[in-house]
Each structure stands twice: as C-alpha cells, then as structure tokens.
Structure 1
Amino acid sequence: MTTLKPCAFCTLPSSRIIDDGEHGVVIRDGFPISPGHTLVIPKRHVGSFFSLLTSERIDLLNLLDKAKQQLDAEFAPQGYNIGINDGAAAGQTVPHLHIHLIPRYDGDREDPRGGVRWIIPEKADYWSQP
C-alpha cells in the first residue's frame, strides 16, 4: 500500500505562520534564496493560481502587500521578485499554490537585469541581442 505524504502547506505548524487572513497565511520560506524570502499561501488546498476564487485572490494579494511592508521595515530591500511556479513544467514542487515574495538587494547579483527571465538563461539577456 502506498502512503501519500501529507501536503506540507496544509499541515503547517502555527509557529511558522507570521501573518494570516481569511483565506491565506504568510510564512518565511524554509529554503530562502535571500534574507526575508516569504511565501503567501491559500488556506484551501488548491494547486493553481488560476483555480482561486475571487475572494481568495483578493485576500492573498492583500497579504502580499502586508508582507512587503513588513519586509521593508525589517530588511529594507532595494527591490522584489514576485513569483508563482504554476504546474510541474513551471517548476512547482509542492502542489499547493504559494506566491514567492523574494527581497532583492543591491549587489546580490552582478547584473540583475532580466529578473525572472533567468529561468531560461539563454533567453534572459534580451537587451544585448542584435
């Protein structure tokens, strides 16, 4: 018999939650790529952003705004990347929607131009192409 592993985001301990709303919670990423890397997660188990109800989208975006304000106060980053890996082909490894709010800092990458375009490196540098 195969035992299914419980969803990591459906079984979050309350100690990980730094903010919450009616439809979502905010946590710090367990494997951060920068100081303050934060996740906004719906309470309902849903895999795709496109499967959210309107009320859930509104609440998650409000939580995203609040998380950004907290990160501004705590870490004072110079920018942000906001990302969703929606589907396995997009790199989603936890099949429960989560929005990454990634603080960016001057000098954290030699040349940050292209931002999320670096997902496919050979297509990222569009500005120096003929």
Structure 2
Amino acid sequence: MSNKETCPFCYPKKDPEQQIVFESETCYFLQHNNEQDVLVGAGVIVPKKHRMNTFELTKEEWAETYDLLHKAKEYINDKQSPDGYTLGWNVGEPSNQTIPHSHFHVIPRYNDEPLAGKGLRHWLKQPENKRK
C-alpha cells in the first residue's frame, strides 16, 4: 500500500468497514469496524490529501486535526466513557508506520485494561530497546 492509488486513507469510502465519523475541509476522523475488536472506540485523523507523514501537513491540516481531535474526544467520551487517551503519530518504518499516509491515532484507554498505565513511552523505554 505504498502508492496513492491503493492508499486506504485516500479513498476511505471504498472500504465498507471504514466509517467517516467526521470530516472537515482537509481532514477525516475515521473509525474502522475491524479495528474495534481490541481498541474499542479508537480512530485516526487523516488528511484528505496524500501526505506520506506528519511533517508534510499544511498549517490548515494541523489546525483542522486539532479541531477534529476535540470533536472526536467529545464523541468518544459520549459513546465509550474512557478513563484516558493515548494519542500519537508514527513516522517511518522504525516507528511502525504501516500505512504511508499520515494518520493521528486517537485511542481511548480504560482503567480495567490489562495494559492500563502502559503508554507510548513505556515500550520505548525498555532496556532491550537501547541502541548499542
């Protein structure tokens, strides 16, 4: 999925499991039905234009990402009542960016999760992750 023609975030309406929950002029907030099995309520904010990574976003896309984030939080709070959130972008293969289209993860977190309290930095700070 490395080109624009096959990018799932460029054409979210082609996937019947992909829901466009909200959209602005330049961005979508998406939730995918098949991704809700473990990460209940999770979604991504993506620019409508194909941007390989976050560093390519325009100022307008940044501003609309901010607006959609707050709209998504209100929506998820109403539907799921999470206890917290993990938010983040992955940029490049070493950070596990598997779809080469910028996407901002909005992941609700719950006190009763087996991995509650383990955020983004927890995994990165493990001794086995230290460079030699």
Q: TM-score, structure 2 length as denominator?
A: 0.81
Between 1:103-112 and 1:66-75, the stretch displaced more is 103-112
Unaligned runs of at least 5 residues, structure 2 = none
Residue-pair matches, total: 120
What is the RMSD of the two structures over their aligned residues, measured on CA atoms?
Answer: 2.1
Of structures 1 and 2, the larger Rg is shown by 1
Which of 51, 59, 73 is the matching residue for 2:56?
Answer: 51
Matched, 1:17 2:23: no
Between the aligned partners of 1:59 and 1:110, the Cα distance in structure 2 is 31
Indicate if the aligned counterparts of 1:117 and 1:123 stay in contact, CA closer than 8 A: no
Structure 2 letter corresponding to 1:122:
Q
Between the aligned partners of 1:40 and 1:111, the Cα distance in structure 2 is 23
Other-structure match for 2:104: 99
Unaligned runs of at least 5 residues, structure 1 = 125-130
1:96-119: CA deviation from partner (whole Å, max 9, x where unpaired): 000100000112035515x11133
Which of 31, 35, 43 is the matching residue for 2:35?
Answer: 31
Between the aligned partners of 1:98 and 1:111, the Cα distance in structure 2 is 23
1:55-66 equivalent positions in 2, closer than 5 A? 55-66=60-71
Between the aligned partners of 1:105 and 1:123, the Cα distance in structure 2 is 26
Between the aligned partners of 2:115 and 2:9, the Cα distance in structure 1 is 33
Indicate if the aligned counterparts of 2:110 and 2:116 stay in contact, CA closer than 8 A: no
Cα 1:93–1:80 change in 2 (3 A) is same
Name the % identity: 29
